[in-house]
């Protein structure tokens, strides 16, 4: 399936792409556009103005996708808090990791093309998922 999002990938779009590939569509192909009018026919748009899979009320796009696809995994919702705070920084959640992710993603987008940012952040979010999973099971920070 084809997916389209705004070019200049940052935390929310990188996390959404990872989420889509891992939990919704393993064969996802991503297109990056600068104008919503350039979204290819048949592609599902996310994190771009006018798309349903975008910011809604207090939610960032990652949270919207979790809701629309009824993903209830508490580990994903913990990651959603990190993404939300890194993207919006509105203090809705306690996510001390967020400023670090924000800087890392902003820096990456300065030196890499969007496709490369997704390649590099895939393992990063895999690791975050594993870390949050172990933390949830242990009830404390894993080693």
Partner 1 sequence: MEQRLGQERPGDGPGLWVLLCYRVPREPSAPRIAIWRKLKRLGVAQLGDGLVGLPADARTREQLEWVAEDVTEAGGSAGVWLARPATLAQERELAVAMAAARTAEYAAVTAQAATAREAGAATRAAALRRLRSELRRITRRDYFPPAGREQAHAAVEALAGPPAPRRDAVPARRDAVAGGGAGEHS
Using the rule CB under 8 A, is 49 a contact of partner 1? yes
Interface pick for partner 1 out of 40, 58, 100, 107 (rule CB under 8 A): 58
Q: Is the Cβ of residue 49 or residue 116 nearer to partner 1 in the bound state?
A: 49
Using the contact rule CB under 8 A, the part of the chain among 71-79, 88-96, 113-121, 135-143 near partner 1 is: 88-96
Q: How far is CA 57 from the centre of its chain?
A: 17
Q: How far is CA 35 from the centre of its chain?
A: 20
CA distance 64 to 16: 10
Taken in order 93, 47, 57, 106, the sign of the CA dihedral is: positive
User: Which residues of the chain form contacts with partner 1 (CB under 8 A)?
Assistant: 6, 8, 49-50, 54-58, 89-91, 99
């Amino acid at each position: 399936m084809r997916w389209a999002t705004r070019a200049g990938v940052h935390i929310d779009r990188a996390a959404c792409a990872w989420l889509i590939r891992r939990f919704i569509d393993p064969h996802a192909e991503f297109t990056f556009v600068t104008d919503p009018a350039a979204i290819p026919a048949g592609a599902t748009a996310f994190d771009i103005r006018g798309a349903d899979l975008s910011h809604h009320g207090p939610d960032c796009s990652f949270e919207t996708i979790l809701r629309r696809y009824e993903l209830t995994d508490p580990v994903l919702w913990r990651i959603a808090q990190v993404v939300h705070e890194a993207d919006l920084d509105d203090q809705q959640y306690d996510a001390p990791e967020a400023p670090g992710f924000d800087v890392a993603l902003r820096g990456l987008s300065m030196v890499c093309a969007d496709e490369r940012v997704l390649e590099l952040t895939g393992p990063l979010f895999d690791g975050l998922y594993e870390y949050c999973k172990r933390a949830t099971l242990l009830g404390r920070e894993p080693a």
